[in-house]
Amino acid sequence: MTEYNAPITEMEFLIKDVFDLNSITALPGYEEATPDMVDAILEEAGKLGRDVIAPLAQASDEQGATWNDNEVTTSPGFKEAYAQFVEGGWNGIGFDPEYGGMGLPFVLSNAVSEIWNSSSIAFGLCPMLTGGAIEAMHHHASEEQKAIFLEKMVTGEWTGTMNLTEPSAGSDLAAVSAKAVPQDDGTYKITGQKIFITFGEHDMTENIIHLVLARTPDAPAGSRGISLFIVPKYLVNEDGSLGERNPAYCISIEHKLGIHGSPTATMSFEGATGYLVKEENKGLACMFTMMNNARLNVGNEGFAAAERAYQCALNYARERVQSPVIGSKDKTSVTIDKHPDVRRMLLTMKAKTEAARAISYFTARQQDIVAKTDDNDARATADALIQLLTPVVKAYSTDIGIEVANDGIQVHGGMGFIEESGAPQWLRDVRITAIYEGTNGIQANDLIGRKVGMNGGAYLDILLPMIKEDLAAAKAKGGVFTEMAEAIEVGLNNTEKATAWLLESFKEDPKQAATGSVHYLRLLGNLCGGWLLTKSALIAQAKLDANEGNPAFMKAKINTARFFAEQIMPTSSALKAIFTKGYNAVLECEDDWL
């Protein structure tokens, strides 16, 4: 079993120094998020993660959730750990105080989520899904509905689920076919099957609140005919006590590559009572509220898993002795972290993880500005950045999670293939993150379409000047900072060229750009990662100059940024070339050439 220690120094550095916590604390409603509060929260979450949740990860992999006769028993220790999680008030830290939350900013709750996800993605999924349901209900449910359900979901006493997918309606929600028949009392009877429902059934709480997409009898075809319903596992009496069992059953759970601790349910709604959210046929809009946040949260899982895989590999590499260093006169065997190829792998893992984390924290900050600022321009800017970066956070970060976990196995050598080492689990667990909440290909199409191609690159016109400003500062600094800035600038130029081509070609035939949309997303992700690591390195140097903070940490930030500039950024020219010129053989490929 491998330990997990939350990277609290890094988290605090990002939240306070790189992303200017003071400017968030200054927003109305976030006054309590002082530097001391941030330290205290991260410290305590780190302890719960390290001592309670992370030790369950491997056992939950070996003994996943089990199904029997419509009931699900979660992995050993999950129920107790969840109770401790609820008792500590952790579920509500980011939610509205009106419903029992702490109302802390997303820059902080996002870091706390990282701790849960690094500890165990399977465990972290339960509050993540509850959070999505809270979000949707907070924005769209009636006051009466909120009064009944919301507080217990915010505390975590009840959990929530999202019931979107059906056997023949995965990414394409227009094909949803579950039925909702209106009843005389204003409720609806929901009938249909939903698949891939995370924590759709479990034994950790008394009640589960399902949010379900379904169609009313007269609904128009396609995505405009979908409505959203609240379908509790147990109906709730007027006094708040639990009433009768709603016929919403988990009829099986999936046998999956990873996240065995997270039950993935097939739900059968058999005339279950549902309460309409908002109006009929407005379901998709309600769901989008929760999907945007869900995408940021899945991105969080990506780098959180990468962090765990990195810690696991680093610990192994620091202990495993094998062979002398190449070209060294000293023929004594050394720990493998000293071998150049292994050191490169470790730095690759670290640099990618920190790049993806920085983009996520940057985007979380924009969420906070949108939520609380009274400056309309600032809100519009922040909102544009969220729109643009949500697919990047989701896809770039989860691709990186897979790559880093895969490298982590390689660092372990033969032990990396042995389950007891822990290394394979992080790859198996994180693999789903590139698929659910919209596959990474769908994210890439969202990026080239809605987020860039269809608005003439307006969101990029907000982001790129911010990057240029920071690069100018790095360039002026000299030495490695100038080198880094120049490497990132190559990425910037390639992004600008790729974008110009995208805007042109998209008008004529979006298929060309869709062929290589993942390459464009990667190009933009690397640019943002390289930019924020360089920005972090500049701030770390300022800290060193001022004798502030942990010098080894600050030097590491500079070295990691340099590594990213040296080993990752040079791919940008290739990505641009493949994106803008690589579509012919795909588009001209006949069916029988595959």
Q: Are strands 159-163 and 208-214 parallel, antiparallel or unpaired?
A: parallel
Segment 224 to 263, residues that bind a copy of itself, using CB under 8 A: 254-258
Enumerate residues 6+ apart whose C-beta is below 8 A from 471. Answer: 485, 488, 489, 492, 531, 534
Task: With CA atoms as reference, report the closest residue to 97 among 179, 32, 49, 46.
Answer: 32
Return the residue of 84, 439, 455, 493 that touches a copy of itself, per CB under 8 A.
439
**How big is the site for a copy of itself, counted in residues (CB under 8 A)?**
95
- The 399-428 site mask, x for binding a copy of itself (CB under 8 A), equals ---x---x--xx--xx-xxxxx---x--xx
Q: How far is the CB of 515 from a copy of itself (least distance, A)?
A: 4
Residue 349 C-beta: closest distance to a copy of itself, Å: 10
330 in contact with a copy of itself (CB under 8 A): no
Query: Which residue do the tokens 């940024």 mark?
Result: 561
List the one residue from 136, 148, 514, 539 that touches a copy of itself (CB under 8 A).
514
Return the HEC string of 185-220.
Answer: CCCEEEEEEEEEEECCCCCCCCCEEEEEEEECCCCC
Cβ atoms of 60 and 122 within 8 Å: the answer is yes
- Check residue 32 for interaction with a copy of itself (CB under 8 A): no
Q: Which of 19, 116, 426, 563 binds a copy of itself (CB under 8 A)?
A: 563
177 sits near a copy of itself (criterion: CB under 8 A): no
- 559 part of the interface to a copy of itself, by CB under 8 A: yes
Distance of CA 441 to the CA centre of its chain: 16
Which of the residues 525 through 554 are near a copy of itself (CB under 8 A)? 552
User: Given 143, 437, 504, 508, which residue is catalytic?
Assistant: 437
Beta carbon of residue 228, minimum distance to a copy of itself (angstroms, whole number):
21
Q: Shortest distance, CB of residue 121 to a copy of itself, whole angstroms? A: 12
Distance, in Å, from the CA atom of 113 to the CA atom of 116, rounded to the nearest integer, reads 5
Q: Which of residues 180-199 bind a copy of itself (CB under 8 A)?
A: 195-196
Identity of the residue, 224 or 511, whose beta carbon is nearer to a copy of itself in the bound complex: 511
Distance CA 223, CA 221 (A): 7
Residue 571 as a binder of a copy of itself (CB under 8 A): the answer is yes
Can residue 34 be called a binding residue for a copy of itself (CB under 8 A)?
A: no
In the annotation, is 437 catalytic?
yes
Q: Which is nearer to a copy of itself, 454 or 466 (CB)?
A: 454
Comparing CA positions, the residue from 305, 290, 445, 303 lying closest to residue 362 is 303
Query: What angle is formed at CA 211 by the lines to CA 256 and CA 261, rounded to 5 degrees?
Result: 25
Query: Cβ closer to a copy of itself: 107 or 488?
Result: 488
Asked if 574 interacts with a copy of itself (CB under 8 A), we say yes
In this complex, which beta carbon is closest to a copy of itself, that of residue 84 or of residue 515?
515
Name 511's Cβ contacts closer than 8 Å, sequence gap at least 6: 583, 587
Query: 337-344 long-range contacts, Cβ below 8 Å, gap at least 24?
Result: 342/317, 342/411, 344/567
Q: How far is the CB of 96 from a copy of itself (least distance, A)?
A: 32
342 binds a copy of itself (CB under 8 A): yes
Q: What angle do CA 206, 246, 148 make, to 5 degrees?
A: 60
Q: Under rule CB under 8 A, which residues in 112-171 are in contact with a copy of itself? A: 165, 168, 170-171
Quick one: tokens of 573?
A: 């020219």
Interface residue with a copy of itself, options 134, 432, 485, 498 (CB under 8 A): 432
Q: How far is the CB of 172 from a copy of itself (least distance, A)?
A: 4
Contact flag: residue 590 with a copy of itself (CB under 8 A) = yes
Q: How far is CA 504 from CA 582, 584, 588, in A?
A: 16, 17, 20
Question: Nearest CA to 4 among 87, 138, 118?
Answer: 118
Residue 285's alpha-carbon distances to 31, 73, 224, 281, 314, in angstroms, are: 31, 34, 9, 9, 44
Nearer to a copy of itself, 244 or 591 (CB): 591
Q: How far apart are CA 53 and CA 119, in angstroms?
A: 6
Smallest distance from a copy of itself to CB 503, Å: 15
Strand 179-182 versus strand 159-163 pairing type: unpaired
Does position 290 interact with a copy of itself (CB under 8 A)? The reply is no
Residue 220, judged by CB atoms within 10 A of its CB (0-12, 13-18, 19+), counts as exposed
Query: Nearer Cβ to a copy of itself, position 31 or 341?
Result: 341
Q: Does 510 bind a copy of itself (CB under 8 A)?
A: yes
| Minimum CB distance to a copy of itself, residue 559 (Å) | 5
Site for a copy of itself in 447-486 (CB under 8 A): 449
Q: Active-site positions?
A: 437
